[in-house]
Structure 1
Amino acid sequence: MTPFTAAHLASPIEIQRPPIIRFGSGTAATAGDWAKSKGARRILVVADAFNAARVETLNLSGEVAVFGEVRPEPDVPNLEAALRVAEDLRPDLVIGFGGGSAMDLAKLVAVLPNSGQSLHEVVGPEKVRAKQSLLAQVPTTAGTGSEAGTRALVTDPATQNKLAVQSFHMLADIAIVDPDLTLTLPAAVTAASGVDAMAHCVEAFTSKKAHPLIDIYAIEGVRLVGRFLARAIRDGSDVEARAGLCLASLYGGFCLGPVNTTSGHAVAYPLGTRHHVAHGAANALVFPHTLAFNAPAAPEKTRAVVEALGLSANGEADVFEATYRYCADLGCEMRLSALGVPRDDLPAMAREAHAIRRLLDNNPRDISENEIRAIYEAAY
């Protein structure tokens, strides 16, 4: 097999990041001062139920409304409920406060209400006409990197597919990354989120669209996960480990805009859309399979990934065994059957995953529908 050729140093690329990124313990409390400095008087916080109960952490003042009903893997009705609140409030500032689901909905809530555009009119790249309010993102997990990106995903219940909206207008005006907010994450969520951050970095690093400008963030993100994820799982109060994972997640977010993910996320998506498996858990289960599948097409980069995780492997089989054991030792569930996925659904899942061309077209190795199904079977 001929290895793919990624971009070289002179290849054009654009990286978009929030103009202000505040990182470190205690920074969440500065959200209120920033909001005041921008003259924001009507604020809408978009959060899940847990984070809705600790909005005071943000130290906000003025008229503050909270949409606290964000669901894992949010769907169109969940978004529509948030949009109704925003249409009534007409906020000056929208704050995404939670994991990737809350931050993705916040992006759409910042651009759609009273805009004259519907969700389906803006699906795809750069179809949003304007931002309707300021946007701040405050992550409370270390996995999605959504605080740094311009893409939002919601599930369409009619098709069970994810609708992807990408727009510069959905870039946060400020991202506040406070590792203290992640101290309460359970070990299982910490593990799955950390592997999600790693998957963003790995898939961008090995993508056909890989670029040296992004590679530096990608491989460092993998190293951070390799260094800190097991530590954070062992001791959730380890602030240095939590900060390391938050930085890995942020770097993964930097990777998503200009390069994006590949087969790992495409194969993982049907687990979430069809069976409501948490995104991080789905990525952890799929990760060893797709990394090993792609290894022949990107041998040097695969070796770098394995070494960055502190592992060793020679050949495709070793890559799979080493990374499977790594994820399993973190406590990730590695069997589809244990997640309640019915075996007779695997063909439909393979069909849906294979149709996600926006990701698979950048995979370093062509992957067929039958090969995706074989991954599901092997993971069952």
Structure 2
Amino acid sequence: MTELLYPIDIDRPRRIAFGAGQVATVGTWAREQGITRSLVIADAFNAARIDLLGLPGEVTVFGAVKPEPDIPNLDAALDVAARTRPQLVIGFGGGSAMDLAKLVAVLPGSGQSLQDVVGPEKVAGRSMALVQVATTSGTGSEAGSRALVTDTATQNKLAVQSRHMIADLAVVDPDLTMTVPRAVTAATGVDALAHCAEAFTSRKAHPLIDLYALEGIRLVGRFLGRAVADGSDREARAGLALASLYGGFCLGPVNTTAGHAVAYPLGTRHHIPHGLACAVIFPHTLAFNAEAVPEKTALVLEALGAGGARDVLAASHGWCAALGIEMRLSRLGVPEEDLLTMATEAHAIRRLLDNNPREMSREQILAIYRAAL
């Protein structure tokens, strides 16, 4: 059976507005829908610039989104939604804000708790509109149907997937990313790269998604270095925004693999930003999987501008390090004594590891952590 015969379902936001100045679309769209009460879910930085959205009527802002949001963070946002009863929820920020916005749009008044909807397609429905406005180029959450929240009791990520969490309007305005600092630009860019590369090499890879994945990798290879060197390079910012969107397209029907599974404990246990965690792990899992998918691995390196490299780990690690990313876990505050616990947790994330093109044991994950230390 070839990949062309694999069944696949594709879900996209009802409308995608891409390009410089498209943030103005939000207010226009809200007026067309007759919206008079909106709730904006944002981090503190973006909460201070909600005027860019041009929203009509009564606007409430939950501006306390945390990096790697957890259940208490979600509960605080849900309390605001219960009090204000919005007609429209807007995620305004990076993946954390957009993920919380998805859950805030579906849980209030549904009779369902977060625990009820963890997993695929358990959400009963949605009674309010949802708009996503991306301000970073990394997660692609604006295009996807998944939301991740950390369970503080277990230090594990809870994943909710539902068609009901797909945005009515997704806005990707590269100008909103111009203020992203150099280090964050680099790390989130590698997160977008990892989404594309992991989907491209996944056991669930599909030709319908491969074209987005490979083009997303090419865009990162072409533009990430430029954006890191000059944050005001508008073409580079636009290229990364498109790469991030394509990475989001990859997440719904195919999803990520071992790279994200191994990266997750770095965020939940040690609060390393998700993009940075993915960047540190990316070269190691790409190299680990190379023997299972050699042709696709070669295409990934070629798309990054490292074609012909014989040592996959050295080539991909060097590419990331050249962006100024700190690639050693020990320098990011991860103690060696915690590596086994993290390996055990990562190995339990079967929803991702089962997609990996090569079986990965707990001991092999531990070896990756030790190599990255």
TM-score range, shorter chain: over 0.9
Aligned partner letter, 2:346: A
C-alpha distance in structure 1 between counterparts of 2:252 and 2:330, whole Å? 33
Aligned partner letter, 2:206: H
Aligned partner letter, 1:238: D
1:171-219 deviation per Cα after TM superposition (whole angstroms, max 9, x unaligned):
0000010000000000000000100000000000000000000000000
1:81-130 deviation per Cα after TM superposition (whole angstroms, max 9, x unaligned):
00000011111000000000000000000000121100000000011001
What's the TM-score, normalizing by structure 1?
Answer: 0.97
| 2:215 maps to 1:220 | yes
Structural mapping, 1:102-181, within 5 Å: 102-181=97-176
1:29 shift after superposition: 1.5
C-alpha distance in structure 2 between counterparts of 1:251 and 1:339, whole Å? 29
Q: Would you say the 8 A contact 1:94–1:106 is kept in 2? A: yes
1:314 shift after superposition: 4.3
1:307-333 deviation per Cα after TM superposition (whole angstroms, max 9, x unaligned):
000003444xx1100110000000111
Q: Would you say the 8 A contact 2:138–2:192 is kept in 1? A: yes
Match of 1:294 among 289, 292, 295: 289
Residue 245 of structure 2 is matched in structure 1 by 250
Residue 8 of structure 1 is matched in structure 2 by 3
1:32-89 deviation per Cα after TM superposition (whole angstroms, max 9, x unaligned):
0100111111000000000000000111120000000000000000000000000111
User: Alignment length, in residue pairs?
Assistant: 373
C-alpha distance in structure 2 between counterparts of 1:132 and 1:303, whole Å? 46
Residue 362 of structure 1 is matched in structure 2 by 355
1:8 shift after superposition: 1.8
Aligned partner letter, 1:104: D
C-alpha distance in structure 2 between counterparts of 1:196 and 1:39, whole Å? 36
Residue 84 of structure 2 is matched in structure 1 by 89
Structural mapping, 1:1-380, within 5 Å: 8-315=3-310, 318-380=311-373
Gapped regions of structure 2 (runs ≥ 5): none
What's the TM-score, normalizing by structure 2?
Answer: 0.99
Q: Would you say the 8 A contact 2:35–2:56 is kept in 1? A: no
Q: Would you say the 8 A contact 1:313–1:322 is kept in 2? A: no
Aligned partner letter, 1:253: G
Q: Would you say the 8 A contact 2:301–2:309 is kept in 1? A: no
C-alpha distance in structure 1 between counterparts of 2:60 and 2:156, whole Å? 30
C-alpha distance in structure 1 between counterparts of 2:30 and 2:323, whole Å? 39
Deviating beyond 6 angstroms after TM superposition, the runs of 4 or more aligned structure 1 residues are none
Q: Would you say the 8 A contact 1:200–1:256 is kept in 2? A: yes
1:107-159 deviation per Cα after TM superposition (whole angstroms, max 9, x unaligned):
00000012110000000001100112100000000000000000000000000
1:299 shift after superposition: 0.2
C-alpha distance in structure 1 between counterparts of 2:64 and 2:197, whole Å? 32
Q: Secondary structure at the match of 1:9?
A: helix
Aligned partner letter, 2:341: A
Q: Would you say the 8 A contact 1:221–1:249 is kept in 2? A: yes
Q: Would you say the 8 A contact 1:312–1:322 is kept in 2? A: no
For the aligned residue pairs, the C-alpha RMSD in angstroms reads 0.8
C-alpha distance in structure 2 between counterparts of 1:148 and 1:110, whole Å? 15
1:261-314 deviation per Cα after TM superposition (whole angstroms, max 9, x unaligned):
000000000000000000000000000000000000000000000000000344
